[in-house]
Amino acid sequence: MSEEKQAVWAKGLPGVPKAMFWPGILGGTGDSVYVHSDESLKPEKETCNPKGLLGRHRVDIRDHKVAPVVKHGTKRVYDKRHACFFCGDTFSKISSHLQMKHSGEKLVAEILAKKKGGKDRKLLWKKLRNMGDFHYNIKRITEKKGHLIVERRPTTEKDSNEFLPCPHCLGFFVRSELWRHAKECPFRCQNNEEEKPLVYSAQILLYSNLHENSDLQENIQEILTGMKSDGVLKAIQSDNSLMSFGSAMLKRVGRGRLPNVRQKLRQLGRLLVSLRCLSTEAAVFTDFIKPKEFDRVVDAVKKISSNPSEITEKGCQKYSLPSLALKLGHSLKRLAEVIRGRAIRDGDDERRKDVENFILLHDTEWADKISSHARQTIAERKYNEPDILPLTCDIVKLKDFLLHEIVRLSELLFKDINAVNWRNLAMVVLCRITIFNKRRGGETSQMKLSAYVNRKTGEWKDAENLEIISTLSPIEKKLMDRLQLVEIVGKKNRKVPVLLTKDMWNALDLLNSKRNAIGVPLQNPFLFAAPSSKSGHLKCWDSLKWITNRVDLKNPELITTTNMRKYIATVSQIVDLDSKNELEWLANHMGHTLSVHRKYYRLQEQTLELAKVSKLLIAADCGMVHRYAGKTLDDITLEEIQLDKSEEEDCDEQDCSSSEECQERTPPKIKDSKQKQKEQKQSEKDTEYVCSNAKKCTRRPWKEEDKQALRTSFHQHFTLCCPPRKRFPHRTGV
């Protein structure tokens, strides 16, 4: 194609991204200029999504469809077409088209130089074909028209948002099957074993190739608006790769987590400022995401997160901000993937290779240089920090204060309806619900108004629950009448319950009735809405801090939602939750799994350690554990355990001086052979304490009729070679 024609094509397609060029795997150098033809790409269906590709977790391209396989009767029609990487047209035999029309291209020539029918040649054809399909799909999504070309067409028509590109070969696969393909992908880097964030990498690759101008500017403007105006903000604004990273991350997590996106950007902005101190003031991240700059990036991370003069107890470097170092490691890799996506789209093969080599260095060396030391610092801090739970008296005092404040503020809101009184009552009720249910603060503060309004009030006694209700005790049935339940979204989108007492729902009904009067916007979906805000809500941490400072508590700093969850998990050990289901009920209410409940929340109280576990240790030290098989710790009594030698001697002297019977029943050899007893076996110990006046017994052999009776009664057990059980007694008549 001539240069004039290329210019015409480029001018006629202003919204079409530049051709993607990935010759590194194919062996090219990137000297050629490639453009796309649009003659065969007619719009098949107009979309009605004016906002473009928005959504919380995936690209909103639901108006697009992926065409299924075509069948005539039971026979499949092979009519799948692929897009040409050079001209953009679609063909059913893409390899024949490339040989006939583009044999002069360097990429095609290098493929044709390979052995015909060989494995290398097939892989190179596949890679070039996927590059054309990837560029074609990006164009379809950008223009919001046409069908996508996927690796395996579904049997039924599916939405395009169910497909994501493989980060290794660029082929589009069903989201749920992407992990299966990635394990066998021939273009996967052999040294890269990290496949857990595979979907995340695919989303970053897709999002970074979408929305060049309008959406990017809109998202960045929304992100940067709430940031502090300082040198970090200026560094972020001067780096296009950082803004692309922020836009892609916002598309993935949604606007509900906008503060998290800002935090990630500011962390990378701080790192960029530190890198500029080691380089030039005009440097950007694309100058540092290179193999030769990897050590400089490591030094910059250490500079802003560690103190070189401090070391841990094991001799490793100690970090003053270990969590920052860990977060920067994750963010740097995501940023590198965004830069790689831009390099793929722009056809910058040299930059793509540098980014991939940087990612390879990150996977192999980052843990040794940064992550291991940071995690060791965190572990050392956790070990040295005492596990202190809130005092029970503080919890009771706080509960009484909240109940009193709910009554007082409710009366005040009835008399004087204003935003201040409404906000104060909402903060008190929020803390009351959070502490009573031991919920995470973010879960209750983001409770939706619709979830509260649509809760079940008196519908628990319907026909489908009668069988369960019949098994409850009278007090449990009474609790069903006195409590109400609201289901909200918890961590990992898990549905978690929130129990409400009468004082809670009365206060919530009052708050809802006064929302319009104080000016809460109708668009605000939250139950604890921030007044005069369309999408804001009250923060549980701020509310709890405000309230604990007003109450005379012994340790107000310990009253946090995390400590309250650890408190209920720890004191629940006092209750006999012998059934696994009972403990699982508590874990489900708290919104986590049983393993998380035991590993992170339930602390081993020192009192329980001293009083309960010590009995088992003493029994093991005396070699008497076998006596308590099948028993609980409460069944082990200290009277049955052989005490320490000195304590035993004192007890023997006192008992023997006060009782003549003890002298008669205790052989003299016991006092003279204390040292020998420790060396003897347990069976010998059991025979030492023998009563002197015990009756002698005479053993009699079994009679033949007795043996025959046993053989008849237990014939089945002799045949099956299994002992009889208690639950199946046999009457022998013997």
Does 423 share its domain with 568? yes
Distance between CA 627 and CA 632 in Å, rounded? Answer: 12
Q: Is 440 exposed, middle or buried (0-12, 13-18, 19+ CB in 10 A)?
A: buried
Closest CA to 243 of 257, 264, 229: 264
Give domain status of residue 645, yes or no: no
Q: Residue 86: what are its φ and ψ, rounded to 5°?
A: -95, -45
pLDDT band at 430 (very low <50, low <70, confident <90, very high): very high
In this structure, what DSSP letter does residue 680 have?
Answer: S
Within 10 angstroms of residue 193's Cβ, the number of other Cβ atoms is 9
Helix (H) or strand (E) holding 318: strand 317-319
Determine contact, residues 224/237, Cβ cutoff 8 Å. Answer: yes
Residues sharing a CB contact under 8 Å with residue 404, sequence separation 6 or more, in sequence order: none
What is the greatest pairwise CA distance in the chain?
A: 122
Which residue, of 169, 187, 205, is where some domain finishes?
Answer: 187
Give domain status of residue 545, yes or no: yes
Residues sharing a CB contact under 8 Å with residue 58, sequence separation 6 or more, in sequence order: 161, 175, 203
Does 414 share its domain with 372? no
Distance between CA 236 and CA 365 in Å, rounded? Answer: 27
Give domain status of residue 274, yes or no: yes
Does 321 share its domain with 423? no
**In the structure encoding, which two tokens stand for residue 391, read together?**
């005092």
Structural domain containing residue 269? 214-384
Q: What Rg, from alpha-carbon coordinates, does the chain have?
A: 37
Residues sharing a CB contact under 8 Å with residue 602, sequence separation 6 or more, in sequence order: 566, 569, 570, 572, 573
Compare 281 and 672 and report the one with higher pLDDT: 281
Within 10 angstroms of residue 352's Cβ, the number of other Cβ atoms is 25
Over 60: is that where the pLDDT of 4 sits?
Answer: no
Compare 575 and 683 and report the one with higher pLDDT: 575
Compare 728 and 666 and report the one with higher pLDDT: 728
In percent, the amount of the chain with pLDDT more than 70 equals 65
- List, for residues 523-582, the tens digit of each pLDDT value: 899 999 988 888 888 998 899 999 999 998 888 888 888 788 777 766 665 555 555 555
Q: What is the pLDDT of residue 637?
A: 62
**In the structure encoding, which two tokens stand for residue 207, read together?**
């999002």
Q: What is the pLDDT of residue 403?
A: 92
Q: What is the pLDDT of residue 309?
A: 66
Helix 561-571 and helix 580-590, axial crossing angle in degrees, nearest 10: 170
Within 10 angstroms of residue 544's Cβ, the number of other Cβ atoms is 22
Does 498 share its domain with 578? yes
Domain count, the chain: 5
Half-sphere exposure of 321 (CA within 13 A, CB side): 10
What is each CA distance from 700 to 239, 427, 732, in whole angstroms? 99, 83, 20
**In the structure encoding, which two tokens stand for residue 713, read together?**
């009664």
**Mean pLDDT value across the chain:** 73
Q: What is the pLDDT of residue 510?
A: 93
SS3 labels along 262-327: HHHHHHHHHHHHHHHHHCCCCCCHHHCCCHHHHHHHHHHHHHHHEEEEEECCCCCEEECCHHHHHH
Distance between CA 155 and CA 174 in Å, rounded? Answer: 12
Distance between CA 552 and CA 468 in Å, rounded? Answer: 44
Compare 454 and 66 and report the one with higher pLDDT: 454
- For residue 488, the SS3 value is strand
Distance between CA 372 and CA 380 in Å, rounded? Answer: 12
Distance between CA 173 and CA 185 in Å, rounded? Answer: 12
- List, for residues 140-158, the tens digit of each pLDDT value: 877 777 788 888 888 887 8
Alpha helix ranges (H) inside 603-673: 606-608, 614-621, 645-658, 660-665, 669-672
Does 273 share its domain with 155? no
Residues sharing a CB contact under 8 Å with residue 505, sequence separation 6 or more, in sequence order: 484
Over 60: is that where the pLDDT of 268 sits?
Answer: yes
* Dihedral sign computed on CA atoms, order 250, 255, 261, 266: positive
Task: Give the pairing type, strands 82-83 and 90-91.
Answer: antiparallel
Which residue, of 384, 412, 427, is where some domain finishes?
Answer: 384
Q: What is the pLDDT of residue 613?
A: 60
Q: What is the pLDDT of residue 593?
A: 61
pTM: 0.54
Distance between CA 718 and CA 264 in Å, rounded? Answer: 72
pLDDT band at 179 (very low <50, low <70, confident <90, very high): confident
- List, for residues 498-508, the tens digit of each pLDDT value: 888 888 989 99
Distance between CA 230 and CA 271 in Å, rounded? Answer: 14
Give domain status of residue 269, yes or no: yes
Residues sharing a CB contact under 8 Å with residue 365, sequence separation 6 or more, in sequence order: 294
Q: What is the pLDDT of residue 455?
A: 84
Does 372 share its domain with 465? no
Residues forming a β-bridge with 497: 487
**In the structure encoding, which two tokens stand for residue 258, read together?**
């906008």
Over 70: is that where the pLDDT of 122 sits?
Answer: yes
Does 367 share its domain with 425? no
Over 70: is that where the pLDDT of 29 sits?
Answer: no
Place of tokens 């092979």: 78
Compare 341 and 3 and report the one with higher pLDDT: 341
Does 178 share its domain with 259? no
Q: Residue 570: what are its φ and ψ, rounded to 5°?
A: -80, -50
Helix (H) or strand (E) holding 360: helix 349-366
Which residue, of 138, 168, 187, is where some domain finishes?
Answer: 187
Mean pLDDT of 683-707: 62
Helix (H) or strand (E) holding 174: strand 172-174
Give domain status of residue 201, yes or no: no
Does 327 share its domain with 366? yes
Distance between CA 68 and CA 723 in Å, rounded? Answer: 63
Does 470 share its domain with 433? yes
Give exposure, 377-411, as e/b (b: 16+ Cβ within 10 Å).
Answer: beebeeeeeeeebbeeebbeebeebbeebbeebbe
Q: Is 432 exposed, middle or buried (0-12, 13-18, 19+ CB in 10 A)?
A: buried
**In the structure encoding, which two tokens stand for residue 382, read together?**
């956790």
Does 404 share its domain with 533? yes
Q: At residue 672, what is the residue type?
A: D
Give domain status of residue 615, yes or no: yes
Give domain status of residue 496, yes or no: yes
- List, for residues 468-499, the tens digit of each pLDDT value: 777 777 767 776 777 788 888 887 777 888 88
Give domain status of residue 657, yes or no: no
Does 219 share its domain with 339? yes
- For residue 489, the SS3 value is strand
pLDDT band at 76 (very low <50, low <70, confident <90, very high): confident
Determine contact, residues 554/391, Cβ cutoff 8 Å. Answer: yes
In this structure, what DSSP letter does residue 512 have?
Answer: H
